[in-house]
Structure 1
């Protein structure tokens, strides 16, 4: 187990050594995730076990954190706990993806080393809701412009009949002095 988390890792080398990476990363360091958060304070606890099963290098473990997402209805914070299991198979071709066990997701490795933050951030993003919103009705402060207010509601009742204006004109005197009835 490592005392301090490395910035980059070599998943194949760590799998050969059967290494374990355990520690915390700051939420502020996740660039893609930060734009979706109400507050970037806090950490992500990670525990990743690297191993091999035959020729397959795999990463198993868990990621845990509490995120403050932005509600898409009221723009207020939502507390979103994340306890995500990690099951990745290290691959470098589509052939290898087809041979992965069904409960493993592929982790494409193009170079020897890759940022640890990218792996963790991808797993966090996969565990977010598509449209975060409160489970109960939001307390929206703004009024809906389509709903008439009290004075407009009374006026609407008088104008229910679109021909009511014509009826009033029929009963009025003609401006040229003639009164036809």
Structure 2
């Protein structure tokens, strides 16, 4: 189990803060709760906190690695590479959170003090996973439940309609 690391979001004026680590993707229970077994897939992550050029408290979230997903086309597991880099602004009250003054600015999160670094990394990973994960190209050999390979091509059920249309 990974020990928790925190960023003190209220004390960034004293200087930037940086934490990093590595975690097995299977330890990120919110991320992988509906995914296949993760094996030894690992995620390298880092979180740096600072005050930007317009005096906003910002966090830069980075993560690289892989997770095992289930293809929604063929229902087989496959490895999905993860490579995220995102900037997040820290605000201290809900009015700031909902302020639309800077539509081009970074996403905002609400935090009044200690922020669980790995929790934020896991949130960003969850957002990076496709809603419907699929292989680019599913494996060629599909098998029926009897264990026999599927036929290469099946006749189209609409072929008869095509022949009627030609008549």
For the criterion TM > 0.5, the same-fold answer is yes
The structure with the largest helix share of the pair is: 1
Structure showing greater radius of gyration is: 1
Match of 1:107 among 106, 109, 116: 109
TM-score, reference length from structure 2: 0.70
Segments of 4+ moved more than 6 angstroms: none
Q: Which residue of 2 aligns with 1:92?
A: 92
Once the two structures are superposed, what CA deviation does each residue of 1:89-147 show, in whole Å capped at 9, x if it has no partner?
A: 001334424345624111221x422322220111001111111111114544237xxxx
Higher relative contact order, structure no. (Cα contacts within 8 Å, ≥ 6 residues apart)? 2
Judged with a 3 Å threshold, the aligned counterparts in structure 2 of structure 1 residues 29 and 100 are, in CA distance, closer, same or farther, namely farther
Q: Where does the alignment leave 5 or more consecutive residues of structure 2 unmatched?
A: 146-150, 156-167
Aligned length: 141
Once the two structures are superposed, what CA deviation does each residue of 1:143-171 show, in whole Å capped at 9, x if it has no partner?
A: 7xxxxx9xxx9xxxxxxxxxxxxxxxxxx
Indicate conservation of the 8 Å contact 1:12/1:90, yes or no: no
TM-score, reference length from structure 1: 0.65
RMSD between aligned alpha carbons? 2.8
Deviation at residue 15 of structure 1 after TM alignment: 6.2
Q: Distance in 2 between matches of 1:79 and 1:15?
A: 41
Q: Where does the alignment leave 5 or more consecutive residues of structure 1 unmatched?
A: 144-148, 154-181
